[in-house]
Amino acid sequence: MIDVQDLSFSYQGSAGKALDGLRLKVEKGQFYGIAGPAGAGKSTFAMCLNGAVPRLIEGDFSGQIYIAGKNIMETPVDQLCSVTGSVFQDVESQLVSSVVEDEIVFGMENLSFSKEEMDVRIAESLAAVGISNLRQANIWSLSGGQKQRVAIASALALRPQLLIMDEPTSELDPQASLELFHVLTSLNRKHGMTIVVIEQKLDLLFRFCDRLAIMDKGSVVLEGGSRDVLEKQDILEEIGLQVPPAARLFFLLKRVGVHHSSIPVSEEEACGILAEILDKGR
């Protein structure tokens, strides 16, 4: 689905590189997480994936990005919209209407969809994110989590093969963050949508994503399944990332001679492992 080859980018007027020889592959149907310390180049990478860099944001760009087999630098924007949907960190800056239905219609009107087709897609996209009851709601009266769902529904209405989320939980409380990841998981599992999430909350990425890439200084320093990446605790901490509490407990137990074959990626898994260890000790 995504094939990034030797991607480098420097912002205009900047001496350093925001991205430096980045390579990454995401397979179709994966729920893929990207994390890293501040300044690692994560948001710049997200803007490269949707074509904002370098089309709208100028700088020194090199490398190749292929999405669904299309070189994004050689593909018209309207064709990219049918493949890729994006939801950014500041979701309110992405919303252009005051009513939920109008927001979802906006992108389709720009692509000259028929009214009948728009009605079908509005209903489908709202149902997919669990907000069918908010179709006529005033967007500015909604909670942060509900606004995120509206933005996702707007992207889904164009039926993209790939959904890119940049820091989607940055303004959400823990419960709303968890609910959002359940929505994304549903889109991935039930609808087969490829999802790439750039996120600071590592516990959510390790719990929900199929694979993760850890970025630092503009390139990928770790890549693999959740447990494979967690095994590299030393590298994560070296670049300023703390493993989630569930995994931290696993490593603490390991240091005192209590071993288990599997690193927990959620609190539920950690509780199960603890119960198993205690049962063995009886």
> Residue 257 is encoded by which pair of tokens?
């001679």
Evaluate whether the domain defined by 1-83+160-226 bears CATH number 3.30.70.141: no
| Overall average pLDDT of the 4-30 stretch | 94
pLDDT digit string, tens, across residues 97-144 = 999 999 999 988 888 889 999 999 999 999 988 899 999 999 999 998
What pLDDT is recorded for position 87? 87
> Percent of the chain at pLDDT above 70?
98
Residue 8 pLDDT greater than 80, yes or no: yes
SS3 labels along the chain = CEEEEEEEEEECCCCCCCEEEEEEEECCCCEEEEECCCCCCHHHHHHHHCCHHHHCCCEEEEEEEEECCEEHHHCCHHHHHCCEEEECCCHHHHCCCCEHHHHHHHHHHHCCCCHHHHHHHHHHHHHHCCCHHHCCCEHHHCCHHHHHHHHHHHHHCCCCCEEEEECCCCCCCHHHHHHHHHHHHHHHHHHCCEEEEECCCHHHHHHHCCEEEEEECCEEEEEEEHHHHHCCHHHHHHCCCCCCHHHHHHHHHHHCCCCCCCCCCCHHHHHHHHHHHHHHHC
**What is the residue-averaged pLDDT of the chain?**
89
- The angle formed by the CA atoms of residues 193, 195 and 201, to the nearest 5 degrees, is 145
Residue 204: pLDDT above 90?
Answer: yes
Mean pLDDT of 146-158: 90
Residues 230 and 247: beta-carbon distance below 8 Å: yes
CA–chain centroid gap for 160, Å, is 14
- Which range among 25-34, 80-89, 125-134 has the greatest average pLDDT? 25-34
Are the C-beta atoms of residues 179 and 2 closer than 8 Å to each other? no
* Contacts of 218 by beta carbon, 8 Å cutoff, 6+ apart: 8, 17, 18, 19, 20, 21, 22, 40, 41, 44
pLDDT of 281: 58
For helices 115-128 and 144-156, the axis angle rounded to 10 degrees is 140
Residue 72 has pLDDT above 60, yes or no: yes
